Amino acid sequence: MNIRPFGKLGNVSALTLGGGGLGQLWGPTTHEECVATAKEAPELGITLFDLAPSYGNGEAESVIGEAFGGHLPNGVRITTKCRVGDTPAIDVPGLLEQSLSDSLERMKLEHIDIMLLHNWVVSDGAPLHDRGTHCSVVKSAVIPTFEKLVADGRIGAWGLTGIGEPGALIGLLDSGTRPDYIQIMANLLDSPGGLAYPDTPSRPRDIMAAAKRRRTLIMGIRAVKAGALTSQMDRFKPSDNPETLDFNRAAPFRVIAAEVGQTPAFLAHQYALSIDGPATVVLGVKNRDELRECVAAEAAGPMDPQLMARIDAAVGRAS
């Protein structure tokens, strides 16, 4: 497993084990299989786990608590998150502090390495759509609370989720705000699917460029686009669902994967690892077989630029 520079945390593995699969969000699995997957990840060289309370209503964090009993393997780092949404600024500190306490209890830990805001960032006055937090609240309440938690020794660093209104995120970063870390979509469709801010192009690579200007470390997320870049969706989605539409759009990509003798998931992860920007790519795996396939994709090295360009053209993404 390649190890990459990761700012305040020193170095971490090129792959991060995400909590979506461990929280049973991405198709059928079992609690026992998720615990086994978490235990195997460090054995395969993974040194960062990315969790959140919303991954299975605390299930993913409980998996970590059961797998390691409060004693993480040497070198393993942990993130968690909190959704603030339209919470009034005055109530944000209490929300973040209580969410962190609950996460630590589930994971049987006393400290986590990164805490991130887990929802859209939108410009002041823009609709929140039940998922967003206005920039003024981020600046006046979220960031100061994160910085207090760092000073108190409860978290090591803080970050944002780079999904929402792109102009707001880019403006926030370019205004001088410098998160330690930011999570940004890193997939060959440049698609957030159902997480997209309504009626707005997502522009993940522009957000990556802004983060790089601020020297904020990037965690790439949604490499297989919630299953749209795999061989087959493993859970039912209506025909007009964003993930279904992306699965259909990716049909030419699956043809290419067959031609080069790899599964779409393997190729999608290799592609994400080859994007210029992310320091680590977060996996949404739900079992050990999927985990091992991703590790094999990382071991295969960067994708050939000609193949990358061919995939871009096939799915209609401007390179």
Residue range 2-54, pLDDT digits in tens: 999 999 999 999 999 999 999 998 888 999 999 999 999 999 999 999 999 99
Q: What is the pLDDT of residue 310?
A: 97
Summarize pLDDT for 259-299 with one digit per residue, the tens.
Answer: 999 999 999 999 999 999 999 999 999 999 999 999 999 99
Query: Do 21 and 290 form a contact (C-beta atoms < 8 A)?
Result: yes
Summarize pLDDT for 107-123 with one digit per residue, the tens.
Answer: 999 999 999 999 999 99
Give the pLDDT band of residue 237 (cuts 50, 70, 90). confident
With 60 as the cut, is the pLDDT of residue 319 above it? no
The full set of domains in the chain, from first to last, is 3-314 (3.20.20.100)
| Section 52-65 average pLDDT | 97
Query: Do 41 and 69 form a contact (C-beta atoms < 8 A)?
Result: no
Three-state SS for the chain is CCEEECHHHCEEECEEEEHHHHCCCCCCCCHHHHHHHHHHHHHCCCCEEECCCCCCCCHHHHHHHHHHCCCCCCCCEEEEEECCCCCCHHHHHHHHHHHHHHHHHHHCCCCEEEEEECCEEECCCCCCCCCEEEHHHHHHHHHHHHHHHHHCCCEEEEEEECCECHHHHHHHHHCCCCCCEEEEECCCCCCCHHHCCCCCCCCHHHHHHHHHHCCCEEEEECCCHHHCCCCCCCCCCCCCCHHHHHHHHCHHHHHHHHHHCCCHHHHHHHHHHHCCCCCEEEECCCCHHHHHHHHHHHHCCCCCHHHHHHHHHHCCCCC
Q: What is the pLDDT of residue 318?
A: 67
